[in-house]
Amino acid sequence: MSLLTTSVSLALPWCCRGWFLGTGRAGARMDHAGYANGTKAGCASWGTNAGYAGRGPDAGYASTHSLLRRLVLAQHQAPVSITTPSTLILRDLDLLLDLDRHTSVTVRVPIPTVSPELARWLEPPGLPAPWARLETVRTLAAHGIATAVVASPILPQVNDDEDAIRPLLAAARAAGAYDVLPALPALPANTGKIVEIGSSRDSRQRRKRFAALFSRLRLAYGFPQVRPGRG
């Protein structure tokens, strides 16, 4: 399997300090020394403890930058998707633009709320404020990179109601995001937060209500927009 035809996904979940790059369903793991071929077409993966949102202002940046640079030099042709809450991605804007000239590049930025106070309560320490992440969305979108906001994490009875969702959708639209994607309400691990959600049946009903509410508001704010990008 050629690297040129392997779709690449860089994901940094909000609850992790590292980032993960992977493609397909199951693949081979490796360190930053080189790429590995997966066992099936479209199934190569790459993982590391470094990344845009590592410890300290620049932790892990070199590894991320090196990986993207290698994709550019290899003239990678399959889609590239990056999910990160970090503003450090803007340092690699030139590489993203180079990639986007010959393939499809998508960036997804997790933002749980527009409220800095609530975001600090919902997320681990050290992540950029919501306004900083929205500025990242604005800059990427202004340069033609297809950029979406992921409403995540969502906690039941905390930020899963209309009062919380509307401002986020409005801010994402103003920043130029082409879409806002929902994360279903859940109790994320390692936050140390205690939220009473009732029985499992109550939880399922709340998820259904949230999904219906988010779908309605997403359409009301005009999402999804026409997807930009040159790939």
Q: What is the pLDDT of residue 184?
A: 72
- Do the beta carbons of residue 71 and residue 34 sit within 8 Å? no
Structure tokens at 53: 């949102």
Q: Is 64 or 115 the better-scoring residue by pLDDT?
A: 115
Over pLDDT 70: what percentage of the chain? 65
Q: Which residue has the higher pLDDT, 23 or 65?
A: 65
> What's the burial of 151, exposed, middle or buried (CB within 10 Å: 0-12/13-18/19+)?
buried
Q: DSSP per residue over 78-136, as a string?
A: S-EEEE---GGGGGGHHHHHHHHTTS-EEEEEE---S-HHHHHHHS-TTPPPHHHHHHH
Q: pLDDT at residue 29 above 90?
A: no
109-122 pLDDT, tens digit each: 999 999 999 999 99
Give the number of residues written for the chain. 231
Using a 10 angstrom Cβ sphere, with 0-12 exposed, 13-18 middle and 19 or more buried, the burial of residue 5 is exposed
> What's the pLDDT tens digit per position in 148-172?
999 999 988 899 999 999 999 999 9
pLDDT higher than 60, residue 228: yes
- Give 188-219 pLDDT, tens digit per residue: 544 555 454 555 677 788 888 999 999 999 99
Helix (H) or strand (E) segment spanning residue 146: strand 146-151
